[in-house]
Structure 1
Amino acid sequence: MKRPTRTSALVAGAVLGLTTLVAPAASASDGSSGHHRSGHTILRADLEGSMPDGPTLAGNVGPGGKPWVLDEGSARVRSDGRVRVRVEGLIIPEFGTPGPVKSISASVVCNGMVVGTTKTAPLSMEGDARLDGMVWLPKHCHMPMVLVNPNGNAGAYIAATGL
């Protein structure tokens, strides 16, 4: 039987070491674990109220039919799909209230299209709401946005990030 040489032992050790380093990285790329699904923040931004003549966003989501203002509003989206929206004083100025809007949902936009919409959260008569939801996100979410939808209607927005 031939004894392994020092060179072949070093090569075998190097291959084993590389396999140990590469295997976890390869298994993390399937989206089940690793940095993509760790929940890091991909968007944290202030919200602005919509205007009736505002832009159509994400291909076909139009602004609400009345002007909307808010005292404060923010949205946060994490890479694992968690969505948090906070609004204070989201109202139609001519009414001084949210009018017929009793709840909001949040649509997340990635790569120029809506990829998911949360369940609704109640909107108070003062225009205050706290929404914590989940949506499915694609592996790559370029130029993320959040659209705040009236009464769960994902075809319209009354506030948005990046307006």
Structure 2
Amino acid sequence: MTSCAQGLEQRTSGGLWSSYLLELRDGTLQCYFDDEWTPHTHTDGGATWSWTQVQDNLLYAARGTSHMALAPWIARQEDGRILCVFATDEDASEPSTPGGNPSLMKIRLRGMFSEDGGKSWSQPVVIESRDRHAYMPGVLALPGGDWLVLYTCADEKAYSCLRGSTAP
């Protein structure tokens, strides 16, 4: 098996960390990185990855060049729906400092849905509407179609969770 990050170090803006693998219903694996929001795929048991191809299917980019969208986490329901949760500072008038202290960042959680295996995505929706310092989200697809979103809340110095179901 090859590394899904092999060859990406020359194309990213500074780091490959927090990799997330998602297996689609057809067995395709998609790999996402915190600093590389283009899904890289393989369909041949890991022998090759799509990073060798030119890709223009960027999952999401924060508005402007200074605001951040970070820490994507992906999960898939049995019916094929995919939810990507992430943190962003684009609601703040001034962008946060990359790599800064999360308790000083003005970031919120957002989510996007896909119903076609990640080929297209909904517009982002706010997941946590309270004005707080939410960071490092994770998502779990629960039986019956519910989602569980976990995140670090720097305001409370604790982990928080939200559970809900959505109709795409």
- Specify if TM > 0.5: no
Q: Which has the larger radius of gyration?
A: 1
Compute the TM-score of the two structures, normalised by the length of structure 2: 0.30
Between Structure 1 and Structure 2, the one with more helix by share is 1
Compute the TM-score of the two structures, normalised by the length of structure 1: 0.31
